[in-house]
A and B are shown apart, each in its own frame.
Chain A
């Protein structure tokens, strides 16, 4: 079974400093992994995705993530935080069930706080 664990429920950084949001996954085979962001009262937006191509994945708004199979990790980073980055971030793995269906399993989320 596939699952993801987000290691921090809250992360607080100062504006202009680096961001690190940690995620570990569990999968019996090569996973498809995603990071989504959810701003208050807005829908989920895809930041980036890993689908067995390059292990360093670049996303929108300066975010990137590195797939490390040996560590079963897919941490999200950004060199310099901006106030607009304050939101809830979800690490997600695609799950496959019978009949060819595939849904998404979400982590519990990391609330990113940006201090001025």
Chain B
């Protein structure tokens, strides 16, 4: 149990639709990052939020966007869904200001695009 919860656990969407995934961070953690894990692959870094602002991004197009709220919970939004967006989406939270701070992962949201 990591204290990071994601919702929903599973989701099916149609190509072209929009989706919002949610993450509740571990208490006291002000940094959240999102990862996409395609089947049989390692997770890939999408972006990171710190104190409600995006401060880092991986190689993902702008249709992947996010929000972080004052209570440090977070959303991942994906517009114009494509079949290749089908994956497990993982949220990770951690504190800042500490060297090598551990990232705690949620169990993920399994998104299927049909």
Contacts and interface: CB of A to CB of B under 8 A. Distances in A.
A43 B108 contact: yes
Contacts of A36: 105
B90 to A, nearest CB: 7
Contacts of B108: 43
A107 B37 CA distance: 11
A105 interface: yes
Interface string B1-18: 010100000000000000
Interface residues of B, number: 27
Contacts of A72: none
Interface string B25-55: 0000000010100001111110110100001
A105 B41 CA distance: 12
Interface in A82-116: 90, 94-95, 97-109
A17 B92 CA distance: 33
B107 interface: yes
Interface of A: 32, 36, 41-46, 49, 51, 90, 94-95, 97-109
Given A43-B107, A45-B2, 6 more contacts: A43-B4, A101-B48, A102-B48, A104-B103, A108-B41, A108-B42
